[in-house]
Amino acid sequence: MAQLSFYSAEANRPCAGDLAGLLCCQGQLTEFARTAARLTLRVDEAWRAKALVRALAVCGIDATRTVTEDGVQGLRTAFRADLTALADGWTKEGEKFAPSDLTLGGGALRLWVLAAGVRLGGGYLLGLDPNAQDTYDTVRGALGGAGLPATLLLDREEGPGLRISGRRRLGRLVELVGEPPLAAAETHWPVVSRVRQSA
């Protein structure tokens, strides 16, 4: 039986701070009178919204699935006082800005994978916010700090992302995020490729 990493999603109690994983991609926080904040997130498939609502409930945060008139799936929380610190850390002069002390544990990475993770050839791509390019370097650094050095990919039809490759790094990602939460997630979940790659 494999030993859980100290930083894995399964070894740590979920918390509101894990929502940083959603801010690494397309998640947005809106503050209300600096006393509360709301998270909103658009996703490309219904299973992602469903899985994220469940995952946030485990963190003690109620979220509601949303669908726009154009059929775009997503979710939103109510305005909550316990999200203001996260909003303050991710906002600078009214714009989304990744905090310099950003760290990413298994819980945050799991939410990121649920929101914007896809297999890409023999590697894995974590999507970034196309409207917040100033966050990319900090988020990439935090991912490296989690033992997951990644390559920034900008010229993609689906949007920008950070590509993780190599058996050792993919194994580390799998260890940190745990098992897929539902069957629909399995084909999008990170795996260690059987093809030998440079670590």
The whole model's pTM is what? 0.89
Cβ contact 140:45 at 8 Å: no
Residue with tokens 């920008």: 160
DSSP 31-60: EETTTEEEEEEEESSHHHHHHHHHHHHHTT
Tokens representing 134?
A: 């100033």
Residue pLDDT, tens place only, 41-94: 999 999 999 999 999 998 889 999 999 888 899 999 999 999 999 999 999 988
- pLDDT category of residue 173 using cuts at 50, 70 and 90: very high
Question: Is residue 147 scored above 50 in pLDDT?
Answer: yes
What CATH number labels 13-188?
3.10.28.10
Q: Is 93 helix (H, G, I), strand (E, B) or coil?
A: coil
Domain boundaries defined on the chain: 13-188
Predicted confidence at residue 194, as pLDDT, reads 53
Instruction: Give how far Cα 60 sits from Cα of 11, 57, 165, Å.
Output: 17, 5, 33
Instruction: Give how far Cα 69 sits from Cα of 49, 72, 74, 198, Å.
Output: 16, 7, 12, 45
- pLDDT category of residue 23 using cuts at 50, 70 and 90: very high
DSSP 102-130: ----HHHHHHHHHHHEEEETTEEEEE--T
Q: Which letter does DSSP use for residue 3 in this model?
A: P
Q: How far apart are CA 197 and CA 51, in angstroms?
A: 31
- Mean of the per-residue pLDDT values of the chain: 88
Residue pLDDT, tens place only, 123-140: 999 999 999 999 999 999
